[in-house]
Structures are given as C-alpha cells and as structure tokens.
Structure 1
Amino acid sequence: MKKAYIPLILLVLVILEGLAINLLPKEIVLSDYLIIAHWVLAFLVYITVYYDEDDTYYSVIYAFIFGLFIDVIYTGILGVYMFSYGFVVYVMNRLRNLLYRNFYVLLLLGVIAFVMADFLIYIMYSVVGITDMVWQDYLLRRLLPTLAANLLFLLFLFPIFKKRLIRWSEEQLEQGN
C-alpha cells in the first residue's frame, strides 16, 4: 500500500493545480500577473531530493507520467508538460547527485526546476503560436510571480513530506535487499 502513496499524492496535486487559481485573491487574479501552479513539479523535486537514490529514477518516471496527465487534463497540446517536467526532473536528479541533501539544496533545485520548466513551457508555447508574450513581459508578469508562488508552496510542503519521503525511501531500499 505504501507504494501507492506517492502516485496518489501526485494525482491529488494534479487535481488541485486546476483549483489553485480559486485560492488566489481577486486582486492578483484580475491583475496583469500570471501565476502558474507547478505543484506537481514541487513534489517531484521533493521526490528527487529525499526519495530517489543515486541509481533510481522514480522522480523522472513520475515526471513523465504526471506531466502527461497535466497535458491531457489542462492543455490542448500533448507533450509540453510531459517533456518539460521529465527533462527538468532528470537534470535535477543529476544535480542532486553532486550535492548534499539538505534544505538549501532543496530550495536551489526548486528554483532551478521552476525556472527551467516554466521557461521550456513558454518557449514551446511560443513556437506553436499559443503565446506571443514578449520576453520582458514574460519575465516580469509570469516567471517571477510563478517562481515566488511555487517557492512558497515548496516551503509549505517541507514539514509535511521531508521525513515521510526519507522513511519511504529507506523502506523501499529494505524491500529491495
């Protein structure tokens, strides 16, 4: 049963991402700022840092699967989130192997992940013609507010999931041996 916890949490986060806009104050929603919830990606960063081992890629597999779910449910183009999340989480997995696992590494990888993923999504949407936002507007009105909001969510998750993911990872290793 414990193997189902992580996919269930990710599934709940996919659903909650669609409701995230309702949680924001009307002043922000009606303003020129665009805040995109990357809650699945935030949890994938936790999986990368605290659950995956040096030779496991659970976070990358989950990134592709749940990125595809986001594409199917919320976007009109398949593969944008799947590719972006999969690629970004793979890079985070490689970077994590170079660094010690702690809170500051989590924050650093979170910032890198949110910026890379959102930028890749912006580039793909620009190429396809879905968005025509100029670079300066994208940076000030979408990337920075999105980064700030998702970092707050990443910090919110810390006391809830850090110890659980470490424990689940240790249990996974014990079962494998």
Structure 2
Amino acid sequence: MAKFYLPFFLLLLLVLEGVAVDFLPNSLVTGRWMIAAHWVLLYLVLISIFYDLENTYVSVLYAIVFGLMIDIVYTSVLGVYMFIYPLVVYGIHGLKKLLHTNFLVALVLSALAVALADTGIYIVYSFIGLTELPWQDYFYIRLIPTLLANVLFLLLIYPLTKPKLVKWSTERFNTSGKL
C-alpha cells in the first residue's frame, strides 16, 4: 500500500510548496529574506533514511520524477531540480549507510540536503544567468532563512512520518515467508 501513499504525499507536498508563502507572516514575505520551501526534498530524505534499504533506491526514483514535476510546475528551466534532487538524495542515501538512523542524524542529513540542493540550484541558475545575486547576499538572504524554515518544517513532519515510513518499509521489503 505504501507504493501508493508515498507518491500521494509527495504530490500533496508539491502542491503545498506552491502555496507555502501564503502561510507565512507578511513581515517575512515582504522583508529582505527569500525563503524557498523544499518540502518534497525533505520527505524524499526521510524516505531515503527510513524507507529505503541499503540496496533499494525508491527515494532516488521519486526524486527524479518529482524533481521533473517541480521543474514543469514552478520553474522556467527544465532539468535543474530533476538533476539536483536525485543527486542530493543519492548522496544522503550513501551517508545513511554510514550512520545510525535516529532523529539527530535525520535532522543533520535533512539540513545538509536542503543546503546542498539550494546551493546547487543557485549555482546552476547563476551559471545560466537566471539569477545575479552575489554569493554573500545569497548566503544571508536566501540560504540561511531557507535552512531555518525547512528545519522547522522537518520538526513538524518528522514525528508524523517516521513511524509510517518504517512500517511501510517493513511491509514492502520483508520477504520472510513470502515468495
């Protein structure tokens, strides 16, 4: 059943990312800070940590599909998110193999994923000329607020998603007694 729930929740988060700015106070939105919601990426990281086994890459496949969907729906350049998200999720999947899966590791890996993805997107966009924000301004105006906002979102969804992802992983990949 999880194979239906995972894409459903990812699609829901994809839609909610577009209206995330409407949930923020006006002082944050109209101020100097630029906040990007990477909710799909956070859920992909949680899938990678708590759902995927060492030799399964469901999260990377979903990262490709939903990265392309983000490109189609929210950006003017196809392929940036479709390239960055799977690359970051694959890296997190590799790091997960080296660390014990607990809340602190999930928090650090999620923050690392958001930082890498947002910085990668900034580098690609600045290379092709879609943004002209200097690095120092990007760091203080965009990266730090984006990291903080996404970590807050992770703190909200972590207790709700971790038990379900572990349960669904056990149901899907447990092969004892099944042919």
TM-score in same-fold range (> 0.5): yes
Instruction: Find the aligned partners of 2:27 and 2:88 in 1 and give their Cα distance.
Output: 31
Match of 1:77 in 2: 77
Number of residues paired by the alignment? 177
User: For each residue in 1:128-175, what CA deviation from the matched residue of structure 2 results, as whole angstroms up to 9, or x when unmatched?
Assistant: 111000011000000000000000111111111110000000000125
Q: Deviations over 1:96-137 (max 9, x none)?
A: 001111111101101110100000000000011110000110
Q: How does 1:3-22 map to 2 (within 5 A)?
A: 3-22=3-22
| Match of residue 111 from structure 1 | 111
**Partner Cα separation in structure 1 for residue 2 and residue 58 of structure 2:** 14
Distance 1:107 1:122 in 2: 22
- Give 2:147's aligned amino acid: L
Contact 2:2 2:172 in 1 (8 A): no
Note if 1:124 corresponds to 2:124: yes
Paired with 1:32 and 1:175, the residues of 2 have a C-alpha distance of 53
Aligned to 2:33: 33
Q: RMSD in angstroms over aligned alpha carbons? A: 1.0
Q: Distance in 2 between matches of 1:54 and 1:2?
A: 18
Q: Deviation at 1:2?
A: 3.2
4+ aligned runs moved over 6 Å, structure 1: none
Looking at structure 2, the residues matched to 3 and 86 of structure 1 have their Cα atoms a distance apart, in angstroms, of 18
Q: Which letter maps to 2:142?
A: R
Matched residues in 2 for 1:52 and 1:2: separation?
Answer: 12
More helix, by proportion: 1
The code of the aligned residue for 2:86 comes to: G
Residue aligning to 1:52: 52
Q: Deviations over 1:7-30 (max 9, x none)?
A: 000000000000001011111111
Alignment partners' CA distance in 1, 2:167 and 2:54: 16
**What is residue 97 of structure 1 aligned with on the other side?**
97
Q: Which residue of 2 aligns with 1:162?
A: 162
Q: In structure 1, the residue corresponding to 2:174 is in which secondary structure? A: helix
